[in-house]
Amino acid sequence: MDGDRHATPTDRFVALHDAADALLDDLTERYLVERRETKEPFGLDDALVRTVRLIPRSPSAAPLAIHFTNPGLVVRLGRWWEESLPPCACATCDDDPRALEERLRVHIAALIEGGLWERVRRGVGGSWFETRLIGAGVTADREGPLSAAGARDARRGGFAAAVQWAPWQFRSR
């Protein structure tokens, strides 16, 4: 690959975009959500990427956003859970697109079942977010720093205490 061991053809992740599209269509049909599709600046170079958001009609249920990047996806659950699929697209890492599709499904299933928990913590050095995702096939924690403005905004939004997001509501048939 021209001597760059981190270069890779990205065609193998096209299936990940297709899987995300099919999953978003299915969720839109099955759950009470508003679907918003836009092109937004994303990443260091602020390239415009397709972004799809599913916002539950119940304000106690967490939103989902998927950014369709090159080569994969960036998935945001709730306020702070963010995950790149693949985490690295280089040939050395060689992530399996099918395994990434399954990870996408498992994490989104945990979200819609009410398995996402988030909160803001204050400390001497500043504030940070904590988030936990629990569901069939996933138990994971994340944390990271927040700016002073971000922490104030989060506390105003009710995140000073832990927030356990509610399950999504099904559409009535």
Cβ neighbours, 10 Å, residue 58:
15
Q: Say yes or no: 74 and 28 in one domain.
A: yes
In contact, 74 and 43? CB cutoff 8 Å: no
Residues 6+ apart with CB under 8 A from 107: 75, 77, 83, 133, 135, 138
Please report which confidence band the pLDDT of residue 93 belongs to, taking 50, 70 and 90 as the band edges.
low
Residues near 116 by beta carbon (within 8 Å), at least 6 away in sequence: 62, 77, 78, 81, 110, 131, 132, 133, 164, 165
| Number of domains the chain is built from | 2
Whether residue 100 is contained in a domain is answered as: yes
Specify the pTM: 0.87
91 and 18 within one domain: yes
Q: Could you give the angle at the alpha carbon of 113 between the alpha carbons of 156 and 97, nearest 5°?
A: 105
pLDDT(92) > 70: no
* Predicted confidence (pLDDT) per residue in 112-126, tens digit: 999 999 999 888 888
Burial level of 77, CB count in 10 A (0-12/13-18/19+)? buried
Residues 44 and 90 in one domain: yes
**Chain center to CA of 10:** 21
Residues 29 and 75 occupy one common structural domain: yes
pLDDT in tens, 98-113: 899 999 999 999 999 9
Any idea what the Cα angle at residue 96 is, between residues 91 and 99, rounded to 5°?
155
pLDDT value of position 7: 42
Domain extent at residue 73: 11-112
Q: Is residue 3 part of a domain?
A: no
Residues 17 and 83 reside in one and the same domain: yes
Domain identity same for 32 and 100: yes
Average model confidence (pLDDT) for the chain?
A: 88
Is residue 72 domain-shared with residue 151, that is, in the same domain?
no
Q: How confident is the model at residue 9 (pLDDT cuts 50, 70, 90)?
A: low
pLDDT band at 2 (very low <50, low <70, confident <90, very high): very low
